[in-house]
Each structure stands twice: as structure tokens, then as C-alpha cells.
Chains A and B, each alone.
Chain A
Amino acid sequence: MLEGLMLGLSAAVTPFNLIMVVMGCVIGTLIGMLPGLGPMSIIAIMIPVAIGIGDPTAALILLSGVYYGAIFGGSTSSILLNAPGVAGTVATAFDGYPMARKGQAGKALTIAAVASFAGGTIGAILLMIFAPALSSVALLFHSAEYFALMVVGLSAIAAFAGTGQVAKALMMTILGLMMGTVGEGALSNMPRFTFGMMELQSGFSFITLAMAMFALPEALFLVMNPARAATGDSGKITGMRITGAEARSIAPVIGRQSIQGFFIGVLPGAGATIASFLGYAVERNIAKGAEQEEFGKGSIKGLAAPETANNAACTGSFVPLLTLGIPGSGTTAILLGALLALNVTPGPRLMTDEPQVFWAVIISMYIGNLVLLILNLPLIPYIAKILTIPRTFLIPFILFFTLMGSYLGQNNSTELLILVGFGVIATILRFADYPLAPLLIGFILGTMLEDNFGRAMQLYRGFGFLLERPMTLALLVLAALLVVLPSFRAYRARRRAEGVADGD
């Protein structure tokens, strides 16, 4: 391993490759900040440039720089504008945006940057130490386990079932699950609930839905509230420093989520989005008392968890790509194509055949994460200033990027109608105090939940997989615990409080 490390260092740390890392990170961050533009589109744009370089090591370094840059930058629009541009940063908006609203935009951005850095770096260390062994981890999960994993993810809903909102959160979840069934699933070639509309055959696009649920209602709210619209939130932006107590409270979250996120990323059927939701769910459900109440209202833990997890998962997703040649996500599929074009065939033999490529990528991950942190921290005060722009100017920008982002995904004007239609519905739902995040969680997990459940049922011809696959059962029990544990703890606390009142 040490040998490989030296090889990687010598390959990655050349002036040219360092320029590639920096360039990739800058481009990725800048484009990633725009709502609606995710790593997939940015990498697709950058591929011709990367291939033009000709050297596979430099090309891959550039593209992976763009990749984590985009994930890094994606959190910015989530936090500041409630307009997640990447599926992986939707969960970032859950607590990041409330923090920004409270005037803690600078702090939120700092936490996101530090959490991303830690997630990415710890992920890279895990990748370096365990890479050869990890290929078997990537193949550990069958459809049955993926199904159970999605159930664990759904337990995140509990986070939104706060005081008196249980019924509303559940309704929104079910609405999300229902919307996930629109179009064609992997289980049947019959389009469902498309009402004969060709545009719905491939289902709703996640980015369009995320924009409609978060960004659009936000902009409409501002329009309808002229008092807040006239001035920016100027003066409300307080320090960006994290206090010692805060650092101590998020450190364990970052530690846990780096590892959890990384391993979820390693699974070819999961990825950064699932990792961020799961990270959020787990941290929320194991948090104690008052801290748990904070989730969804601007909790620093709720922000750090998905930010760490999605970056760690991005690193993890390189495992199936490099060691098995299997792309786990759309983004890694594009990367695989680029590698093949450069005559590098990822797979079990990559580490022996072309160790310099393999190790240089890992080294570039450290460098990339470091560059991103150095690049982003000093810029945060300026980026946070976006919020001081009078809303009359900011709203058109949000609307423009929201519409553009959802149009670019499909190049189809029907997306715009869907976006505006759901945006209006979402605004009404927000007025009625329905939480919208559960809808998105239900939507994204629902499709995978159904497909994997169906496959498991088909493979085992019934529910046999629940008993035959211990890991499935264990994950399902974990999901049940995550939901029940907080209520049980609350119940016990109540009992104890009552006991005290009775004076016994």
C-alpha cells in the first residue's frame, strides 16, 4: 500500500495535475452552486476537455475534482436559497435553510464546508486502506437488503413528524410514494398513472420536483410578503464561527456519517442521495431530547449529517467503479465512459495493471478536498452576502435558475408546466403547514423501495427473503428501532417527570 501511495503521490503531485485538481474544483464548485445543475451535467460538459488532455491520470483527476466540487458547491444553493441543485444536497436544505433564515448563513456554510471536507477526506482514507477488500462489500447487498435499506431511509420521515404533525407528515410521505409510481417501473413495461400523457412515461424528474417543493414556494412566499421582500436579510448575518461547544456536538456526527456515508456509497444501488437521507434519519433518531426537537428547524447536527454523508458517499462510489468497473450512479457511469475513451478499463485488474491511475485518483481526492476547503472558507462571507441582495432582485434570479435547471434536465418544455403546477400546489400546502420534505423522501426512496421489493419477492417467490437473509431482517429491525426508540425515550422521560411531580 505504501508503495502504491508513493506511486500515486509521484503521479498526482506534478504541477500540471495540481492545476487540474484546482481547475476541476473551481469549475465544479461554481457550476454546482447554480440551482438545477448537478455533477452529472457538469461532468458531461467537461468530458471533451478531459479527454483532450490525453493523459488518463490527469483527466480523471480533473473530472473527480469537478465531481466533488459540484457536490461541495451544491450545498450552497440549498442553504442560501432552499434550491437544491443536486439530489444529494436536498437533505442539506432541511436544516441548512432554516439556519440561514435565522441569520446563521455564514455558520451554516462553514459547517457544510467542514463537514464536506471531513466526509471526503475520511472517505478517501477508507478507500485507500480498504479498496481491494471493498469490492466484496459492494457486492454484499442483494435486492432484499436494498429494500430494507430504503425502509431505514424512510424512517427519516419520523424527523418531520414533530409535534402534532404526524398525520400531515405521513400524508405527504404517501403522496410522495404515490408520485414515485408514475411512469414505468423496473417491474413492468406498462406505464402507470400517466393518463395517456407521453411526457409522464418516464416519471417525474427528481430535480423538477425538488425545485417545485422548495425553491418555487420560497420565491412565491417572498413575492407575497412584500415587507420581507423590500429589504434583504441584511444585518441579520451574524458570525460564521463555530463555537467550541458546537464543534464538540457535531464532531461525533461527522465521524459516524463519514463511515456510514462511505459504506452506503460503496453499494452500487444506493449512492449519495440515499446516504444523505439515511445520515439525516439516523442522526435525528439517535439525538437526545431537545437536540432532536431542533432537527428541521436549523439544527447544526441536522446540517452536518447529510453534508458529511453525501461527500463520503461520493468517494465511496469510486469503489465499484474502479474495482469492479460497475457504475453505481449516472455520474459514475459518465466517468466510466470517459475512462474507456482514454483506454483505461476499470475493473479487478486496474490496481495491478495501472496502479498509477488508481493511486493518483485517491491522492487527488485528498488534495481536492483540501483545495475545496481552502477555496471555500475565505469566500463564505461573500457568498453569504447573496442574502443581503434585496429580494426584488433575488427573486427573478431564483425563478430563472429554477426554471432553467428543470428544463435542462430533460430539454422538454412540459417540465416547466410540471414545475410551476407543483410549485403552486406546494405553496398552498406550505400555507396549510404541511411539511414538504417527507414528500421528496417518499418520492426518491419509493421507486427503489418498490423495485427492490419486487425483485426480492420474485427471486424468493414470496416473503422468504425476510427469513433467509439475516441482514435484511437486521436492517428492518434497525428501522423499527429508529422509529420506536425516540418515542420510547420520550415516554420514559414523561413517566419520570410525572413520577417526580407525584413526589414519590
Chain B
Amino acid sequence: MNTLEWTRRGLIAAATATVAFTGMAHADGHQMMDSVHFLIPGGAGGGWDGTARGTGEALVNSGLVGNATYENMSGGGGGVAIGNLIENADSSHGTLMVNSTPIVIRALTGEIAQSFRDLTLVAGTVGDYAALVVNAESPIMSMEDALAAYREAPQDFAIGGGSVPGGMDHLVAAIIMQGAGEDPTAFNYIGYDAGGEAMAGLLSGEIDALSTGFSEAVALADQGAIRILGVTAPERVPAYEEAPSFVEQGIDAQFVNWRGFFAAPGLPEDQLVAYQNLLAEMMDTPEWEEIRASMGLVNIFRPGDEFKAFLEGQEQQIGDLMRELGFL
């Protein structure tokens, strides 16, 4: 059920991404590629689906690409699609596969047999920060209060999330606790099947705090239903300036759930560069800006080697933490 952790962010993102369907396609003579085929390792309506389709629509609507096609291939937490891309590498030069943080986590746990090293890294494009939130009616007003409550009765302080223990939301909570100088293995993590259920758990008072995606938290914080104690960005995010970053509260907790694109292994260098230029160009178009804003994500464009260094860093961060937590 690990894919469900995606579904929540995903379904929302997917629906928002389809806004683009309505935009009028206009080619104003700067087309860079005839067509792009997107391979989506999860089902229709998931987070990967939303990212791929949003990107494809931006490419087509801005006239950068003539035509975009999509293929959903779910199974094995993304492993089926990765295996397929590697197996058919020679005939898949026209394919871009979307993926995100779980490719790092699941490769570490062995859930998927391959890792990002087995693929050609095109670029990381967008990301969503994580946040720790509490019910608006909670007496916990700040991260300081939360830590005080936790220190008083560590076992009674339950932090929930929409993923399994050892999944992304749990790891984010552990990163935050570790940054605050606490034992990341000591708090009581309660895993839910999906984000909606986890949010209901928070609002019903079953759990004390919730580890969730920032873009998701903003909508409910805006309505006054929840309070954001901290966001895992290096500084405050313009989409919701009220939310303090952990860094400014003296907690060294940074994390971004990135989304990016991969190609088949052995992709010729010139084609790789063409894809990277294409995505770089897209990031500056108004069509992309509209889609990105509606998905509540931030641009973090990192092509090729930069992407690789970032993934290695994340693998190190998450791997160390998982070893400490006893998941590896």
C-alpha cells in the first residue's frame, strides 16, 4: 500500500494538472521536439501521473513539443516500469519516465531491485516541502511547545502520517526530531493508509501532530483548520509566509520531496542534452507557471550531474536515518 502515500498528493495534483487541458495549444514557431512519450510508473490519478501529465501539457501548450503521449504502468511501487524501461532501453529513447523521492527510499529497502543509477538522469523539476502540523484547536502553538509536550511524555505523543512506518512521512518526522536533538527512533509514529485518513486522524484528536506535504497543509491552514509548526524548506515559502521554517527555529531539518524525469540507460548524449534543454525551457513558460502554481509545488530545476549529486545526498540522508531507525 506504499503507493497510497502518493495517491493523496497525487489525486489532487492530477486533477489540478488537468487544468492544462483547457489551455489553447499555440505553436509560435519555437518547437524543440516532435513528440515526447511519458512513462508513468503508477495508475491514473496518482502523483506521478499528475506531474507527467502537467509537464506534458505545459510542453504542448507552450508549443515546445508537438505531441505528448502517456503510458501508465503500475506495479511494484514503480519497479515494473523501471524494469520495463531498462529491458527495452534501445527502443525507448523517446521515453521520459517520471519518478520522485520513493525511488530512493524503495531502492534502499530493496522493494525495487534497481536504483536511479541504473537509469539516465535527465532532470529534477519540481518539489514539495514537508511540514509538521497540529490541529488548530491544539494547545501546541509552536514547535517549542510540541517538543515540550513530547519530552514530558514521549510515549503519549503520537505523530501520524499518510505512509507506512519507514515510509516518507515517517522519515520526515524522524528528520525533524533528529534536527531538534531528540532520538529519532523514540516517538510514536502512527501510519495511515492515505493522507486524507491521516488528516482526519489529526482533526479528530487521535494523533497529536501530523507529518504531511506542505502544499497539502497550506489549503487547510488557510482555512484555519490546522496550524503549521514548521516547514522543511531552507527559508519561508512564498505560498504561505506565515509558516516558519524549521531552520529559523534552530532545528536542522531540511527535506524536499522532488519529482523529476529519467530516461533509458544508454541514451545518447545529444538526446539527453536535448531533453534537458527542453525541460529547462519549459520551466520559464507561463503555461508551466500556471500548472506549477495550481499544484502548489516549487521549481527546483536540477539537470544531469546536479540531479545526481542531489539524489546521492538524499540517499545518504535517508539511508543513514533508516539504518538508525532500524529499517535497513
Contacts and interface: CB of A to CB of B under 8 A. Distances in A.
Given A143-B206, A186-B193, A324-B203, A52 B22 contact: yes
Interface string A308-343: 000000000000100011111010111011101100
A500 to B, nearest CB: 53
Interface string A175-215: 00000000111111101000000110111000000000000
B2 interface: yes
A268 interface: yes
Most-contacted residue by chain B among A41, A203, A332, A340 (CB, 10 A): A340
Interface in B204-218: 204-207
A11 to B, nearest CB: 22
Contact of A187 (B21, B155, B165): B165
A189 B163 CA distance: 9
A455 B188 CA distance: 11
Given A48-B18, A189-B166, A326-B199, A199 B11 contact: no
A409 interface: yes
A202 B219 contact: no
A345 interface: yes
A307 B44 CA distance: 28
A186 B19 CA distance: 32
A348 B223 CA distance: 7
Interface stretch (B71-79, B89-97, B239-247): B71-79
B148 interface: no
B222 interface: yes
Given A191-B111, A202-B3, A324 B200 contact: yes
Contacts of B204: 139-142
Contacts of B220: 325, 347
Interface residues of A, number: 59
A184 B2 contact: yes
Contacts of A348: 223-225
Interface in B113-171: 155, 158, 164-167
B75 A199 contact: yes
Contacts of B196: 268, 320, 326-328, 332-333
Contacts of A141: 204
Contacts of B111: 189, 191, 201
Interface string B1-45: 111100110011111101101100000000000000000000111
Contacts of B72: 411
B109 interface: yes
A349 B75 contact: no
Interface in A384-440: 409-412, 414
B15 A412 contact: no
B177 to A, nearest CB: 17
Nearest to A144: B206
Contact of B1 (A54, A140, A199, A203): A203
Q: How large is the interface on B (under 10, 10 to 19, 20 to 34, 35 or more residues)?
A: 35 or more
B260 interface: no
Interface string A440-475: 000000010001000100110100000000000000
A47 B18 contact: yes
A71 interface: no
B21 A459 contact: no
Interface string B42-57: 0111000000000000
B224 A51 contact: no
B80 A198 contact: yes
Leading 4 A-B pairs by shortest Cβ distance? A337-B15, A198-B76, A347-B223, A189-B166
Interface of A: 40-41, 44, 47-48, 51-52, 54, 138-143, 183-189, 191, 198-199, 201-203, 268-269, 320, 324-328, 330, 332-334, 336-338, 340-341, 345, 347-349, 409-412, 414, 447, 451, 455, 458-459, 461
28 contacts: A41-B44, A44-B14, A44-B15, A47-B15, A48-B18, A51-B22, A143-B206, A183-B1, A184-B164, A186-B193, A189-B166, A201-B111, A202-B75, A202-B77, A332-B196, A333-B7, A333-B196, A334-B14, A337-B16, A340-B16, A340-B219, A341-B19, A410-B74, A411-B43, A412-B74, A458-B158, A459-B158, A459-B188
Given A44-B15, A184-B2, 7 more contacts: A44-B44, A47-B18, A184-B164, A187-B191, A320-B200, A337-B13, A340-B16
